[in-house]
Copies of this chain bind each other. A is one copy, B any other.
Amino acid sequence: MSKKIKKVNAAILIIGNEILSGRTQDRNVAFISNWLNSKCGISVLEVRIIPDVEKIIVENIKSLSNKFNYVFTTGGIGPTHDDITAKSIAKAFRVKYEIHQEAYQILEKYYGKKSFNDGRKKMAKLPKHSKLIYNPSSAAPGFVVKNVFSLPGVPSILNSMIENCKKYLKTGLKIHSMTINLFTVESNISNELNKIQKKYLKKVEIGSYPFFRLGKVGVSLVFRSVKKDFLYRVDKEIKRMIEQKKIKIFKI
């Protein structure tokens, strides 16, 4: 079989001092990555969390947009002084940072002419030729420039917008996954697991993750592949190992 597997990848860039300082627990990485995986067949290969500093945002946009098919940024697109994502992305791509007519109209309609102050107008300033990601929660749109998608930092708003990214994305092959949860410790199965992983190298990715639940120690084995038949083969081999070692499966 010489059929090529089309792999599409992405990076996530979380922009915000509040995440870096530990004040706020990030929830956007897991949400975006799950959505890209399950809905678009896109694998996230790197995440970075950086401060609200123009020079650092510019550097990271340049390097990540070169390295990956897509980059998703979160945070820094609101009306306050620390919201500098749009300006920084314009700088990274050497395009003008200016009023986007459609974004301006959306925001003016939302706030009303009288309340459309400078802070609010700032949210209509985007890198030139941005395409809009509509925001059903609070009007202020996200935007796409080249392969970079910029979304807000507030999880509930981001979640409401994510489907509006899809039309701009080239999607990849769906990645399938299976999970088996075992009542054992990793070090009890590591040798056998290693052998199975070596046999299916580059075809199936096997991950092993310890957990503690209901006072018991367990291991989740997660195997992922674009080919379902390889997953079934790995599943069979792992179940054989489990039987030989007399390990109990834990059903969730």
Residues of A within 8 A of B (CB): 14, 17-27, 29-35, 37, 43-52, 78-82, 111, 117-120, 122-123, 153-154, 156, 177, 186-191, 193-194, 197-198, 205-210, 212, 222, 224
**Given the contacts A80-B193, A187-B119, A207-B17, A44 and B27 also touching, CB distance less than 8 Å:** no
Quick check: A34 and B47 within 8 Å, CB to CB? no
Quick check: A82 and B22 within 8 Å, CB to CB? no
Most chain B CB inside 10 Å of its own CB: which residue of A119, A189, A191, A198 = A119
Nearest residue (CB) in B for A192 is B119
**Given the contacts A119-B190, A120-B187, A187-B120, A31 and B22 also touching, CB distance less than 8 Å:** yes
Most chain B CB inside 10 Å of its own CB: which residue of A32, A78, A198 = A78
**Given the contacts A30-B22, A37-B21, A80-B186, A118 and B191 also touching, CB distance less than 8 Å:** yes
Give the distance in Å from the alpha carbon of A222 to the alpha carbon of B209 in the complex.
Answer: 36
Give the distance in Å from the alpha carbon of A34 to the alpha carbon of B35 in the complex.
Answer: 29
Give the distance in Å from the alpha carbon of A27 to the alpha carbon of B22 in the complex.
Answer: 10
Quick check: A47 and B49 within 8 Å, CB to CB? yes
Quick check: A21 and B191 within 8 Å, CB to CB? no
* 6 closest residue pairs by CB, A with B: A119-B190, A22-B33, A22-B34, A47-B49, A79-B187, A81-B194
Quick check: B79 and A190 within 8 Å, CB to CB? yes
Within the complex, the shortest CB–CB distance from A202 to chain B, in Å, comes to 12
**Given the contacts A119-B190, A222-B23, A46 and B48 also touching, CB distance less than 8 Å:** yes
Give the distance in Å from the alpha carbon of A136 to the alpha carbon of B69 in the complex.
Answer: 43
Quick check: B50 and A22 within 8 Å, CB to CB? no
Name 23 A/B residue pairs within 8 A (Cβ), A-sorted: A18-B207, A18-B222, A19-B29, A20-B45, A20-B46, A22-B31, A22-B35, A22-B44, A26-B26, A46-B50, A48-B49, A79-B187, A80-B186, A80-B189, A80-B194, A81-B197, A82-B197, A82-B207, A82-B208, A117-B188, A117-B191, A119-B188, A120-B187
Quick check: A209 and B44 within 8 Å, CB to CB? no
For residue A205, which residues in chain B have a CB less than 8 angstroms away from its CB? 17
